[in-house]
Structure 1
Amino acid sequence: MKVVYFLVAILALTSSLVSASDPSPLQDFCVAAKEKDGVFVNGKFCKDPKLVKPEDFFLHVEPGNTDNPNNAQVTPVSVDQLPGLNTLGISLARIDFAPKGINPPHTHPRATEILLVLEGTLYVGFVTSNQDGNRLFTKVLNKGDVFVFPIGLIHFQLNVGYGNAVAIAALGSQNAGTITIANALFKANPPISPEVLTKAFQVDQKIIDELQKKSWYNTN
């Protein structure tokens, strides 16, 4: 019986590992089709390979507009912007920062992120899970520096230089997903009950009411 329990545990672990990232493709490519005229694969319909063009694998990315409350902008390059990424398990984003600009605390539920600084100086960090004591790992990055944010963990980037900053984030999923913490908590639709948030944060309801009334900009 112990052997059976052991095998079940191994199977459960293996299954969780397999489902922790995008599935491996079994063909050269599966360009996402806008029309429902192909084979449905992992959330997208595949374009007929005979109709695939070089443009399906190409995208020009312009600098993001940082004239917003966060003074930063994320320009995603996921399967929604670049159809050729479908089933390939990767994506990226360009992040532009004005001075003091911030990409606020957020998570990517489906991907690890690796960040490369192209210009400027960024203060970056992530927080570990409750199980690991909610430890904070931070670093000041300069041009050419690289930092990794493990999958699912809350992380952020702040421009601490005197000029603009630019970074490229590579992600281990064609559609990593983004959950910005403040937006999710205080701008949920419909709103989370103030009683829940008041109890969770151990603050007066007036504070929660004020936070829920604020306009939270979505950088991503």
Structure 2
Amino acid sequence: MRTTDMPLIRRSRLFAQVGEPDLAAMLTACFVQTLPDGAVLCRQGEKAEFLHVVLSGRVGLFGEAARDEALVEFLGPGDAFIVPAVVLDVPYLLTARLLDEGRILMWPAAAFRAQVRATGQLAYGAVLLLSGYWRTLIGQIKDLKLLSAIERLSAFLLALAPRDTGPVTVTLPGGRRLVAGRLGITPQSLSRAFAALRPLGVSGGGREVVIADPARLREFAGVRALKNT
């Protein structure tokens, strides 16, 4: 493990309350792997063997059916997954796959559960992390039930924007096919949604998107300024 990894590990809510000596002791049970784009970190239906923490790169969480899959969420540096399966010692409900080359902290599941039982600060961190996951999940369900494809895309882009005054350029966390899956729409519907947003100042190609006036886009979408905190 590199000395530069610690700030990334600290970025996760999971470790926010854990003191330095305790965290250093916990991490002795862990190891880091550098893996290529496309590497599968865990697979839906398999028993949870590790807690994973992203140190670099991007990870996609996918739900799989017999002939299809859909991206459920993007993860990046500092994100830990899949905590519920590890804590409950049950099979993963999602498959995690690297979307580009990355470094992943691997924490054996049994060792993590033992530390959660023994360390109140880590247990509290798990509560914080799972609470954030719950709010993200509820937000996605609300978006699917209440917002059109155009409004969902607007909200997704605004969440990536660093500020409300434009113009701003945002980088999609994955290709447009993956973004379509994350939003619960087809790639064709995503293309139509981008076209519908052009009169509102949304432009660009590939993963780079320019928002000429984020405040105007927010007004159009009617997006409430709620964060998953």
TM-score normalised to structure 1 length: 0.30
Give the structure with the larger helix fraction. 2
Largest Rg, 1 or 2: 1
| TM-score, with structure 2 as normaliser | 0.29
Instruction: Return the structure number with greater strand share.
Output: 1
